[in-house]
Structure 1
């Protein structure tokens, strides 16, 4: 008489860190019968970014490391100190890694007003070209687009190209209309977008509104332009997936702050009314974080004004999912 063998199970770890119990298939020619079991899945919770970088020592006086200070521009260091003064628990997230965008330059190149406006146009064209395609594809299209010009690319020259010429560089029909619309605006001397004084003196909300009036430029694109091209200090894109995820994790680690934010929003009639609007990120999709209403994110970020841009960069850091890279950094320290 054959002895009944135990059920054989294999544990499989997927890239999403899921454990599955898989039953070995029964051989129909074998007299050994293997008991069938149901597949089970166990999700392994990913470590939080702030937990992984807890090895970083925080000085009692909260002074930033000297090499960190020396690397960055003075205005950025002022912004970083403001963030720490508002929330000292963000110290580790700030010093964990340097911010190349705010690297101190040896000698700053001063551009003329015409050169500045041209660089703004080029940045916006690059923005619409990059939409919904890979970085390498966007760079290839921009390279071909710039090759169309006999000399420096300009808005007025762009308007002389035919549809077919723009189509040949890889632009879709929709993106061609975006490029032409933006170029028309930057070819009009009466447009606010052609005046350096407008960018320097107008409130950020007004600049964003003017940018959004362009075809192909939504609020998110306008805010990224304000952050990385105009170097505005008080930008916060609550509708960015990475920012929303980072904010969720930031507030989840600080339940008292989250409760305070919710109370303050509920006590303000104007903000409370905005809670009725559908949030950017709902809870229908499976996520490893809990989406919060847009209004909670906006209100929580306001206490870091006038340096919400730097706070937003930190939220991108907190949204990190490549924990293996972080663990490697930890082992090196």
Structure 2
């Protein structure tokens, strides 16, 4: 195991702010303690502010409607701004008397050409309308199978099934659903731009970690991420993946730490964390 250097003013796990931890769900507490055992220098960025998604007050009761809502929101928000996605969702809510429709309601909507067009007129492109219809069909026709999948299957199996059965849901979107919908704690998206940028900063501050990981790599996997800002370095995807593996089985929480490290303006990052809740 790679051992991180403790900074002079880093506290041990016993020195965590318990009031801060008590705001969060129990699994978050266990995960954060694990992260700090691996790298105590993360304490300051972790305790900068609460992690919105893991606050006790924000953890919704999981249900098929909740899962559908998360996946539908993910499709709506693809390749558009957060404001545009919020406006489209708001129009859909207005169309259905103040509530976002569930898959049973939308199944009926798609049977009526006028209502289907009205849904499209809320701001959905023809392609996204097709993606939503694919999602509706999957949930409507496979409800029991999906329940069993989400309750009993591995993360890898869930990713495989979502990508195979829902148009518009790719590996990245499926991983984000594992986090926001199923609250899985060992998800890691090495191909995410924010993760790549945060990992670049992580290695910049911890060159000894990068050096050791490079000595352990077995299969080089180049990053597909491109950027024009040469103030940070894009590392190969397998190296980013190995970095995440250091914090197994709590890689999801480490992803949130890397997202925080991806921007020097922490206010921007925290606002992004709050918007992440709507995905």
* TM superposition score category, shorter chain reference: 0.7 to 0.9
Q: 1:185–1:191: 8 Å Cα contact kept in structure 2? A: no
2:195 and 2:255 in contact (8 A); partners too? yes
1:135-214 equivalences under 5 Å are 135-149=82-96, 153-159=101-107, 160-161=109-110, 162=113, 163-189=116-142, 192-193=145-146, 195=147, 197-213=148-164, 214=166
Match of 2:173 in 1: 221
Q: Distance in 2 between matches of 1:231 and 1:147?
A: 29
Deviation at 1:69, TM superposition (A): 2.0
1:61–1:135 Cα change, 3 Å: closer
Match of 1:87 in 2: 39
How big is the shift at 1:110?
A: 5.0
Paired position in structure 2 for 1:64: 16
8 A contact 1:62–1:88 mirrored in 2: no
Number of residue pairs matched by the alignment: 256
For the residues of structure 1 that align with 2:189 and 2:96, how far apart are their CA atoms? 34
Structure 1 or 2: more helix by fraction: 2
CA RMSD of aligned residues (A): 2.5
Q: Higher relative contact order at CA 8 Å, sep ≥6: structure 1 or structure 2?
A: 2
Distance 1:288 1:183, change over 3 A: same
TM-score normalised by length of structure 1: 0.70
User: Is the counterpart of residue 290 in structure 1 residue 238 in structure 2?
Assistant: no
1:280 to 220, 224, 237: 224
Distance 2:13 2:54 in 1: 24
Is 2:74 the partner of 1:74? no
Q: Which stretches in structure 1 are left out of the alignment for 5+ residues?
A: 1-53, 327-333
Structure 1 outlier segments of 4+, above 6 Å: 323-326
Indicate whether 1:122 and 2:69 are aligned. yes
Conserved 8 A contact 2:186-2:252: yes
Structure 2 residue matching 1:170: 3-state secondary structure: coil
Alignment partner, residue 272 of structure 2: none
Q: Which runs of 5+ in 2 are unaligned?
A: 1-6, 270-279
Give 3-state SS (helix, strand or coil) of 1:120's partner: helix
Is the CA contact 1:212–1:222 (under 8 Å) kept in the aligned structure 2?
yes
Q: CA 1:190/1:256 → structure 2, altered by over 3 Å: closer, same or farther?
A: same
